[in-house]
């Protein structure tokens, strides 16, 4: 006969390979404190509803507190024989307080209990990720303020398009990260309903108070449908999706750091303590941390795909396939959180080579659009002005010159509308200052943008 808590139905004990293959307890270590929270709230409710006596509840709560202390002290034993953390805690409570410990599982199933524990943990993890994103955003703002006024190339197709301020480029990542916070907030809102009470999948015959347990644990309320509750993993898929999108953004920033720290471009320098060297080439200084973040993004994408693939063909409500939900989600949470934490000090210590960035900003006839705008303000239709400037750029290429070096006589070959004020409109400073539309790269607009960003830092998220 099986000696497991559910073994009454079985003649044979679980094969040791099955035991190891089926166990999730080693993956679930991180949810252990949250499982204690959930069980404590459940026992409070059972006592309030007279399903347990006050004395029974007191004994069980004493056992739960003892297990909590063992966990905090690192003395709690995680054994695959317990299968999952829920049964491990119940077993240990029963060892401490006796058979009354078995009553803590009244009116619930491991299905709703496991859902609860992971929701509590994921809710906590999202708050920590949002804090880490906010910290990185503060660094983005500080870096933008530190190098205010530095010219920088704006790219399309990774070809120089127009000059911008470095601060404008840097602040782009603030708003990218702000959208990431919004996605995590959305995931938080939808996961913040309490599954406890859905039991195995049909609810329970006991007179439980689901509103009470939901309120005690800070949920918006209980979930509406017990079948949906047990069969749902949308909250984890949304968290994985938000993590994947955020990692994609960190990967893009890391890619730009890798490019811009190369000797051929050299707009940025990374601090030595965030780089590595070569085992054979003594001259090397490699941006390995940025590359590592770029590489880790792929694994987070894979975790999302794993979750979607796991769920795509499952009938309602619970299937053991779903026990595979934790490993990819926990990995995505850990990977993103660490990437955010390490990117912050790396960015703080990064220096900008203003002279080299200015040279880059002036390459590729980046002031050509401003010349076309100049002609348009003289009354020439923009499409024709665009055509004229294209001819002028072609002339510069063939004569190895640039727009700022051309004489008025040379300009007059292409249009009589060009006058002796032309050069004041096509300097890098003039090009940047002219783009004063809302959200543009003009210095005063970037300052306004930074001030709005600072105000966003004070907005609370998920109650934090």
Active site amino acids: 157, 278
| Interatomic CA distance for residues 268 and 256, integer angstroms | 10
| Interatomic CA distance for residues 41 and 35, integer angstroms | 10
Place of tokens 């060009």: 418
Question: In this structure, what DSSP letter does residue 286 have?
Answer: B
Read off the tokens for 154.
């704006």
57 CB-side CA count, 13 A: 16
Read off the tokens for 379.
């009354």
| Interatomic CA distance for residues 340 and 325, integer angstroms | 23
DSSP of 227-278? HHHHH--HHHHHHHHHHHHHHHHHHHHHHHHHHHTSTTT-SEE--GGG-B--
Q: 251, 259 in Cβ contact below 8 A?
A: no
Name the pairing type of β-strands 351-352 and 268-269.
antiparallel
| Interatomic CA distance for residues 464 and 454, integer angstroms | 16
CB contact set of 118 (below 8 Å; sequence gap of 6+) = 31, 34, 236, 325, 326, 329
| Interatomic CA distance for residues 103 and 81, integer angstroms | 21
**Three-state DSSP class for residue 147:** coil
Cα 175 to Cα 144, 245, 332, 462, distances in angstroms: 13, 14, 22, 19
Kindly provide the residue ranges of all beta strands, DSSP E only, lying in 275-365, ordered along the sequence.
Answer: 351-352
Place of tokens 């998220």: 461
- What CA dihedral angle connects 296, 302, 308 and 310, to 10 degrees? -120
| Interatomic CA distance for residues 351 and 266, integer angstroms | 10
Beta bridge partners of 351: 269
């Amino acid at each position: 006969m099986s000696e497991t808590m559910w073994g009454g139905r079985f003649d044979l004990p679980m094969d040791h390979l099955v035991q190891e293959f089926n166990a999730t307890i080693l993956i679930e270590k991180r949810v252990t404190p949250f499982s204690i929270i959930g069980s404590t709230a459940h026992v409070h409710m059972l006592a309030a509803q007279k399903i347990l006596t006050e004395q029974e509840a007191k004994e069980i709560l004493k056992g739960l507190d003892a297990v909590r202390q063992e966990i905090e002290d690192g003395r709690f034993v995680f054994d695959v024989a317990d299968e999952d953390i829920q049964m491990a805690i119940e077993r240990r409570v029963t060892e401490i307080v006796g058979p009354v410990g078995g009553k803590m599982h009244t009116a619930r199933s491991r299905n709703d209990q496991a859902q609860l524990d992971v929701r509590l943990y994921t809710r906590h993890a999202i708050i920590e990720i949002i804090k880490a994103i906010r910290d990185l955003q503060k660094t983005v703002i500080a870096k933008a303020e530190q190098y205010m006024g530095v010219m920088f190339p704006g790219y399309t197709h990774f070809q120089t398009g127009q000059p911008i301020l470095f601060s404008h480029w840097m602040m782009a990542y603030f708003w990218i990260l702000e959208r990431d916070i919004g996605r995590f907030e959305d995931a938080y809102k939808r996961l913040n309903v309490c599954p406890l009470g859905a039991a195995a999948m049909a609810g329970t015959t006991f007179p439980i108070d689901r509103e009470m347990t939901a309120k005690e644990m800070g949920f918006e309320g209980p979930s509406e449908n017990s079948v949906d509750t047990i069969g749902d993993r949308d909250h984890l898929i949304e968290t994985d999706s938000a993590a994947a999108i955020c990692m994609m953004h960190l990967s893009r920033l890391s890619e730009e750091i890798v490019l811009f720290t190369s000797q051929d471009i050299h707009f940025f320098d990374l601090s030595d303590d965030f780089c590595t060297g070569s085992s054979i080439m003594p001259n090397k200084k490699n941006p390995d941390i940025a590359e590592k973040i770029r590489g880790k993004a792929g694994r987070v994408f894979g975790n999302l795909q794993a979750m979607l693939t796991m769920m795509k063909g499952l009938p309602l409500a619970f299937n053991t396939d779903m026990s595979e939900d934790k490993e990819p989600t926990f990995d995505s949470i850990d990977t993103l959180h660490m990437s955010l934490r390490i990117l912050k000090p790396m960015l703080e210590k990064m220096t900008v080579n203003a002279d080299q960035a200015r040279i880059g900003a002036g390459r590729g006839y980046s002031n050509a659009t401003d010349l076309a705008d100049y002609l348009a303000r003289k009354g020439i239709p923009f499409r024709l002005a665009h055509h004229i400037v294209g001819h002028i750029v072609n002339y510069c290429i063939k004569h190895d010159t640039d727009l700022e070096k051309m004489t008025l006589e040379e300009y007059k070959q292409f249009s009589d509308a060009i006058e002796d004020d032309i050069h004041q409109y096509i300097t890098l400073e003039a090009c940047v200052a002219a783009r004063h539309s809302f959200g543009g790269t003009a210095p005063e607009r970037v300052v306004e943008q930074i001030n709005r960003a600072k105000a966003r830092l004070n907005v609370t998220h998920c109650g934090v």
